């Protein structure tokens, strides 16, 4: 993924952050996933008064992509912070890491944790979810 693509992916996540619905935790998160078709899909965390009914931004973005027929994720950018103010990196939870695993090659998928389009760190999903279980294990 080149610098222009990375910046575009991070920017898509930041643009979606305002749509996060987090009235209970006040911790807003947005994600943008890049698919092998070259399209970017976004998602935000959506909370619910019945807490288990909510969804994380990363899964929301991935499910959005899947609902549009996409099946392979190349990269995911995640941004988030208290009251929508991004002051630190926001890594995906374990459930989101496992969902990412369903739609990628872990050694090749890039996960970008961003504070801004200029301040980010990245790793592969294999680094975030070592010894993972995937479709090929069934």
Please identify every residue annotated as catalytic. 58
- How buried is residue 89: exposed, middle or buried, by Cβ count under 10 Å (0-12/13-18/19+)? middle
- Each residue of 97-134: b (16+ CB within 10 Å) or e? bbbbbebbebeebbbbbbbebeebeeebbbebbeeeee
Q: Which residue, among 40, 104, 111, 116, has the nearest Cα to 80 in the 3D structure?
A: 116
CA distance 79 to 14: 7
């Amino acid at each position: 993924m080149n610098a222009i693509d990375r910046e575009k992916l991070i920017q898509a996540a930041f643009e979606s952050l305002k749509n996060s619905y987090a009235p209970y935790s006040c911790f807003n998160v947005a994600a943008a996933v890049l698919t092998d078709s070259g399209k970017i899909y976004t998602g935000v965390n959506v909370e619910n008064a019945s807490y288990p009914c909510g969804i994380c931004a990363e899964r929301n973005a991935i499910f959005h992509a899947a609902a549009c027929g996409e099946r392979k994720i190349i990269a995911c950018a995640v941004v988030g912070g208290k009251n929508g103010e991004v002051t630190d990196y926001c890594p995906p939870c374990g459930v989101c890491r496992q969902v990412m695993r369903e739609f990628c090659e872990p050694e090749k998928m890039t996960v970008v944790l961003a504070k801004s389009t200029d301040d980010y760190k990245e790793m592969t999903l294999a680094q975030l979810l070592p010894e993972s279980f995937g479709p090929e294990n069934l």
